[in-house]
Amino acid sequence: MNIIHITSEVLPFSYAGSTAETLFCLPYAERMDGHQVTVLSPLYASVDTVKHNINSLQLKTWVNAGFAVYEFELFETHLNGVRYVFFKNDEFFNRAGLYGVGKFDYADNDIRFGTFCQAALNFVKYHNIEADILHCHNWQTALIPVYKKLNFADLECKVVLTIHSVDNLGIFNKFTLEALNLPWDIYNIDCIEYYDNISFLKGGIVYSDAITTLSPTFASELINNGGSIGVEEIFYNHAHKLVGILNGICSMIWNPEIDTNIEKTYSSNDISGKKMCKNALCSELGLDQSLPLVVFIQKMLPERGLDLALNAAEEFEKNNINLIIFGPNSSDYGHKIQEIKEKYNKNIRIIINDHANESQKEYAAADIVLMPSLYEPCGSSQMIGMRYGAVPVSRRTGGLVDGAKEAVEKGVGFTFDEFSVDAMMKAVMNAVSLVSSEKYDEVVKILMQIDNSWQKASEKYIKLYERLLEGK
């Protein structure tokens, strides 16, 4: 089948978070399964067109929005058999950031991504792209199903919307409808209206043929309690088309057998390199190599459980456990992080890095990977940690339940329920006992053999596409 992914970010061209990695891995897995796959994305200033051999198609498309007409020039490249088409509009995308600068979003993100959605549909319709599936991602492309229903009804393809995160629902002033040439009759509680504003994501949920999120448990939580953020009514009303598919991890990025970023490669057949990786990182950071090493690799946000990790610093030091916290800079936690660094410098290290895909050394060194999230759509970090032989310790919520299931069943993973330091540390201590035992080598091998590949996840997406095309 012919599959078109429409996204606001995609590795290796643009990156703001895990969505970019998904849009590198899933299309590749689908292509390896024999399907024709194209990815559509904006051409940002940060995209290196020379390095990635991105060339103009000598094609343009135009979008009417309000009283203005916006021009998009089309560029393309190919990678691993996947075609990538980029939409160039310097007014919108020739900027320092993808969505904003620092903590502040661009004020015109509604127009930037609303017009991109229309330009993407123009490309599909007017450039002979006989798509079977349009697969859009997050709020930035959630107007695709809206515009398809209203203005591109002659396109016979089905539309899938994947919700990678509900942290941002794409909420804008209701008069954005006029600016994007959308009719006022969709401004109601059953369509795009959201508390006297509009929500791009809600519009996508209403008008898409199917909705997916990143794990079965998180899908259930969205329906039953809004994923703990109060959007349950939206998902409850469309529960019949919501599917949870656990994300995979990319073997081209996260693979200790071929990883050139770590001290020594290793596999489930020969794990000797893992100890060398731990020794090297501990030596680099001034940590005692003989102590258990826990890593927390996450965005530094309260919903990711950072408060639990920081507030447990004294417990880690008291129990002679090393802890590495790795994530992007956060002004909200700056003072607390500095305090922890100064007070617990024997056992705690905090590494500020905006790119989670540069954390291979930390995963390879880890004995335990910690994910104490308040809520979590997927939980890729624990699956990556397992691929590198680290015991997962995670709170029983969302995708963490699904991602840790096999490890827990095999006795090489630990979960906890209560969002508290005490509950977390009890699970950590259980993991410490395991990695300190004579079973350690066996544990590492079991974890590394658990299949959380994108090939496995891709098969479920393909089955979903097929059901939609069959009218089921």
Q: What is the CATH number of the domain that holds 205?
A: 3.40.50.2000
Paired with 2 in beta bridges are: 36
276 and 138 share one domain: no
Whether residue 11 lies inside any domain: the answer is yes
pLDDT in tens, 335-372: 999 999 999 999 999 999 987 778 999 999 999 999 99
Q: What is the pLDDT of residue 103?
A: 82
With respect to residue 263, please indicate whether it lies within any of the assigned structural domains. no
193 plus 290 within the same structural domain: no
Do 359 and 460 belong to one domain?
Answer: no
Residue 255 inside a domain? The answer is no
Q: Report the Cα 379 to chain-centroid distance in Å.
A: 9
Are residues 314 and 405 both part of a single domain? yes
Closest CA to 309 of 242, 368, 353: 368
Distance (Å, whole) CA 406 – CA 403? 7
293 part of a folded domain: yes
Residue 189: inside a domain, yes or no? yes
pLDDT, position 274? 98
Q: Contact 291/321 with Cβ under 8 angstroms?
A: yes
Range of the domain at 96: 2-248+456-469
63 within 8 A of 69, measured Cβ to Cβ: yes
Per-residue pLDDT at 66: 86
Residue 259 belongs to some domain of the structure:
no
CA angle (12 as vertex; 7, 13 as ends), nearest 5: 60
Residues 314 and 434 in one domain: yes
CA–CA dist 305, 284 (Å, integer): 26
The SS3 of residue 74 is: strand
Percentage of residues in the chain having pLDDT higher than 90 = 90
3-state SS, residue 104: strand
- pLDDT score for 229: 57
In a domain, 159, yes or no: yes
The amino acid present at 27, given as its one-letter code, is P
Nearest to 377 by CA among 139, 204, 213, 242: 213
In a domain, 118, yes or no: yes
Same domain, 217 and 314: no
Q: Are residues 439 and 464 in the same domain?
A: no
Q: Are strands 322-327 and 293-297 parallel, antiparallel or unpaired?
A: parallel
Q: What is the pLDDT of residue 374?
A: 94
Same domain, 435 and 462: no
Residues 221 and 341 occupy one common structural domain: no
Which residues are CB-neighbours of 405 under 8 A, at least 6 positions away? Answer: none
Q: How many domains does the chain have?
A: 2
**Residue-level pLDDT at 192:** 95
Residue ranges for the chain with pLDDT beneath 70: 226-230
pLDDT for the residue 127: 87
- Treating both helix axes as pointing N-terminal to C-terminal, what angle do 380-387 and 440-449 enclose, rounded to 10 degrees? 120
CA–CA distances in Å: residue 152 to residues 113, 124, 159, 177: 17, 10, 12, 17
Residues 345, 392, single domain; the answer is yes
pLDDT (0 to 100) of residue 234: 86
According to DSSP, the residues that pair with 135 across neighbouring strands are 5, 160
**Pair 310, 228 in one domain:** no
Return the pLDDT at 230. Answer: 56
Q: Could you tell me if 233 and 107 lie in one domain?
A: yes
